[in-house]
Structure 1
Amino acid sequence: MEAEKKKPLVSDVGAWAMNVVSSVGLIMANKQLMSNGGYGFAFATTLTGFHFTVTALVGWISNATGLSVSKHVPLWELLWFSIVANMSITGMNLSLMLNSVGFYQISKLSIIPVVCLMEFFLHSKHYSSRVIMAVIAVALGVGICTVTDVEVKVKGLICACVAVFCTSLQQITIGSLQKKYEIGSFELLSKTAPIQAISLLLFGPFADYYLNGHSLLKYHYSVGATAFILLSCILAFFCNTSQYLCIGRFSATSFQVLGHMKTVCVLILGWLLFDSALTLKNILGMLLAVLGMLVYSWAVEHDKKVKMALDIRTGSNSEREDAKLLAKENGTSKPDIELARSES
Structure 2
Amino acid sequence: MGVWESILGKDGRRFVKRKDSDAGEHGRALEELRSSMYSDFHTSEGAKRQQQRLCGPFVAMTFNFIVAVGIIMANKVVMGKVGFNFPVALSLIHYVTSWFLMAIFKALSLLPAAPPSKATPFSSLFVLGVVMALATGLANVSLQHNSVGFYQMAKIAVTPTIVLAEFMLFSKKVSLQKVITLGIVSVGVAVATVTDLEFNFFGACVALAWIVPSAVNKILWSNMQQTGNWTALALMWKTSPITIFFFMVLMPLLDPPGVLSFGWNWNNVAAIIISALFGFLLQWSGALALGATSATSHVVLGQFKTCVIMLGGYIFFKSDPGMVSLFGAVVALCGMSFYTYLNLRDSKESSAGAIKQLLPKQNSFSLKPKTIIDEEDNTDAINPV
Distance 1:286 1:155 in 2: 30
CA distance in 2, matches of 1:9, 1:85: 26
Provide the rounded CA distance (Å) in 2 between the counterparts of 1:54 and 1:281: 41
Partner in structure 1 of residue 242 of structure 2: 195
Q: 2:211 aligns with which of 164, 168, 190?
A: 164
The RMSD of aligned alpha carbons is: 2.9
Deviation (angstroms), 1:11: 3.6
**Is the aligned partner of 1:17 residue 2:82?**
no
Q: Are the structure 2 counterparts of residues 179 and 15 from structure 1 closer, same or farther at C-alpha, using a change threshold of 3 Å?
A: closer
Contact 2:60-2:292 at 8 Å conserved across structures: no
Q: How does 1:85-96 map to 2 (within 5 A)?
A: 85-96=132-143
Q: 1:273 to 1:291 in 2, by over 3 A?
A: closer
Tell which deviates more after alignment, 147-156 or 272-281: 272-281
- Distance in 2 (CA, whole Å) between partners of 1:44 and 1:154 is 19
Pair 1:49 & 2:92 matched? yes
Q: CA separation in 1, counterparts of 2:58 and 2:188?
A: 23
Render the CA deviation track for 1:176-196: whole Å, top value 9, x for unaligned. Answer: 222454111110011111221
Q: Write the mapping of 1:32-111 to structure 2, written as runs, cut at 5 A.
A: 32-35=77-80, 38-68=81-111, 69-71=113-115, 72=117, 73-111=120-158
Deviation track 1:303-343 (CA, whole Å, cap 9, x = no partner) reads 223344455557779999xxxxxxxxxxxxxxxxxxxxxxx
Q: 1:102 to 1:178 in 2, by over 3 A?
A: same
Q: Which runs of 5+ in 2 are unaligned?
A: 1-51, 364-385
The residue that corresponds to 1:342 in the other structure is none
Distance verdict in 2 for CA 1:94–1:33, change over 3 Å:
closer
User: 2:303 aligned with 1:260, yes or no?
Assistant: yes
**What is the aligned partner in structure 2 of residue 30 from structure 1?**
75
Taking structure 1 as the reference length, the TM-score comes to 0.80
Q: Structure 1 residues 318 and 122 mapped into 2: Cα distance closer, same or farther (>3 Å)?
A: farther
- After superposition, what is the alpha-carbon deviation per residue over 1:119-153, rounded to whole angstroms, capped at 9, x for unaligned? 12212222223222221222122111110112455
Alignment correspondent of 1:229: 272
Most deviating of 256-265 and 291-300 = 256-265
Deviates more, 1:173-182 or 1:162-171: 173-182
Cα distance in 2 for partners of 1:248, 1:223 equals: 37
1:286 shift after superposition:
1.9
1:24 and 1:265 in contact (8 A); partners too: no
Q: Which has the higher contact order (CA 8 A, sep 6+)?
A: 1
The aligned counterpart of 1:130 is 177
Q: Summarize the alignment of residues 172-321 of structure 1 with structure 2, pairs less than 5 Å apart.
A: 172-209=219-256, 214-268=257-311, 277-310=320-353
How far is 1:166 from its partner?
Answer: 0.4
Identify unmatched segments of 5+ residues in structure 1: 1-6, 321-344
Q: 1:272 offset after TM fit, Å?
A: 8.2
Identity in percent: 29
Q: Check whether the contact 2:147–2:199 (CA below 8 A) recurs between aligned residues.
A: yes
